[in-house]
Structure 1
Amino acid sequence: MERKIACITGATSGIGWATALHLAKEDYAILACGRRKDRLEELSTKLSPEIPFRYLVFDVRDQEQVISAFDSLPVEWQPIEVLVNNAGNAHGLDTIDQGDVEDWDAMVDINVKGLLYVSRKIIPGMVDRKSGQIINIGSIAGKEVYAKGSVYCASKYAVDALTKGMRIDLNPHGIKVMGIHPGAVETEFSLVRFKGDTERASGVYQGFDPLTADDVAEIIAFAVTRPKHVVMADVLLLPLAQGSATVFNRNSE
């Protein structure tokens, strides 16, 4: 493999999809991961034919699927230089006394355990090579808690803590570890949170210009293309209209 390999989880839509496109422009070979095979196949058609592309279909919640998927890679696709842990979700918006336990399990399993399962498969190779970059996609919800979001916030606080812990553990091996924490980004995120309620989901972004997936992907590409000695350790990325997790200057479009 002549190009360095970038592995992106949650690449079937939103930030992951956009990140694959941006890193391809930076001449990375793209290893795209997700649950929807049709979307990954579609993603391949958006890239230049000159960019090596491969996809893996698995659910990050299932450790056996994660192990099997990465073990299936040909030797030339195994030295992953960049890992973007993007797969994540939010389910429901309820007070803690009314929360759905299945929603809680989904958020902890995907946002925390899924990140760990994928990282555990890829990081040892980085350690052996003394080279690599990891970007964990967090959220403003990992910086401040808001009402009816306690479990989602807890899962993203965990991502923030894991990012900091990874940076310490991997420091002796010359591996960069970075956290990028977006605020309001208009993707499928709210549609998933509200379980397909398009009207409720669209209302989240009414009255202001939210971030786009491209905005976040551009920052990710910038972060991984910095000089070797530069680490963008912790980035909180907000639209202009957002002052905090819950403060928005609506009707500012």
Structure 2
Amino acid sequence: AYQVHQAENVHIVIHDNESTALSTENSPPYEESLEFSLLPNANGHNSRISSPPPILTARRIDRLNELKQNILSEHPKIKVYTRQLDVRDKSTVDQLVSSLPSDLKEIDVLVNNAGNIIVKGMDKIDNVSSDDIDIMVDTNVKGLLYVTQAVLPRMKERQKGHIINIGSISETEFSFIRFGGDKARADKVYEGITPLTGEDIAETVVFVASRPDHVNIADVTLYPVNQASVYLVHRPHTKK
């Protein structure tokens, strides 16, 4: 399985014996879950996945190196290729895709998953800085388009390919960032509930990406059982 991961803007390139996938990723637990879900025999049902070297890219190189070591510690025989990348830089995205090894150029699955959040603190929308707005739009919108533009032409030539766009209400580190690194306060957000995990999302992505060519999954919406909307959350396990 070829993968690209991320700690902040980590991308995952996945390659098996029948298809190659390129994925952009944002939060470390998610991308690591996706990585291990796609490795050979990692979850018992991915018999199609072979074991070429993962291709790992990230904006934050320290997270990328940490992820690489985690993979090698569990799969010491797998070769790992790492590269720093930010989806906001179109020329770098184009260069990455064009310079892929010949056996990886035919990308069959694109997972657009890199993202950034606009809320760094408790500011209301009328007080959010223009710099934060630019970062969010450049990553979540323009970055998605840049990667899609780099990959889509080859898909059209072959008349084959899946594009999976991932959006979220709040990603893995949302509360931690919003509360300025206050872990205790961030943990309170999830107190009394069982939230979705990176593994939950990763398994869904793997399922969607591994459907037969004639199957088109147009939309998937995931919530934890305890949550009905952004603000409506049931906390059955909260201590009285």
Q: What TM-score comes out, normalization by structure 2 length?
A: 0.76
Which residue does 1:120 correspond to in 2? 149
Q: Distance in 2 between matches of 1:56 and 1:90?
A: 23
Confirm or deny: 8 A CA contact 2:21 2:108 kept in the other structure.
yes
Offset at residue 52 of structure 1 (A): 6.8
- Whether contact under 8 Å (1:89, 1:110) holds in the other structure is yes
Equivalent residues, number: 209
* Partner SS for 1:234: coil
Shift of 1:251: 3.9
Q: 1:64 — aligned with what?
A: 91
User: Residue 85 of structure 1 contacts residue 115 of structure 1 at CA under 8 Å; is this kept in 2?
Assistant: yes
| Aligned-partner Cα distance in 2 for 1:234–1:13 | 24
Any stretches of 5+ residues in structure 1 without a counterpart? 142-183
SS in 1 for 2:221: strand
Structure (1 or 2) with the greater helix fraction: 1
Indicate the RMSD between aligned Cα atoms, in angstroms. Answer: 2.5
**CA 1:195 to 1:78, structure 2 compared with 1: closer, same or farther past 3 Å?**
farther
Relative to structure 1, is the Cα distance of residues 202 and 103 closer, same or farther in structure 2, using a 3 angstrom cutoff? farther
Alignment partners' CA distance in 2, 1:15 and 1:46: 18
CA distance in 2, matches of 1:96, 1:11: 23
**How does 1:194-233 map onto structure 2 within 5 Å?**
194-233=179-218
Q: How far has the Cα of 1:195 moved from its partner?
A: 4.3
Letter of the structure 2 residue corresponding to residue 33 of structure 1: T
Q: Deviations over 1:146-198 (max 9, x none)?
A: xxxxxxxxxxxxxxxxxxxxxxxxxxxxxxxxxxxxxx66x223323444332
Shift of 1:126: 1.0
Gaps of 5+ in 2: 1-14, 41-45
Q: State the SS of the aligned residue for 1:97.
A: helix
Q: Kindly state the Cα deviation for residue 23 of structure 1 after the two structures are TM-superposed.
A: 2.2
Structure 1 stretch displaced more, 228-237 or 7-16: 7-16
Is the Cα contact below 8 Å between 2:107 and 2:161 reproduced in 1? yes
Percent of pairs identical after alignment? 39
> Structure 1 residue 98 and structure 2 residue 113: aligned?
no
Query: Is the CA contact (8 Å cut-off) linking 1:91 and 1:104 kept in structure 2?
Result: yes
Compare 229-238 and 86-95 and name the one that shifted more: 86-95
2:108 is aligned with 1:81:
yes
Could you list the per-position Cα deviations for residues 87-119 of structure 1 after superposition, in whole angstroms to 9, with x for gaps in the alignment?
Answer: 112132432221122211111111111111111
Q: Which residue matches 1:33? A: 57
Paired letter, 1:94: D
Query: What does residue range 41-60 of structure 1 map to in structure 2 within 5 Å?
Result: 41-42=68-69, 44-45=71-72, 48=75, 54-60=81-87
Partner-residue secondary structure (3-state), 1:236: coil
TM-score by length of 1: 0.72
- 2:29 maps to what in 1? 14
CA shift in 2, pair 1:5/1:47, >3 Å: farther
For 1:124-163, list aligned pairs within 5 A: 124-139=153-168, 141=169
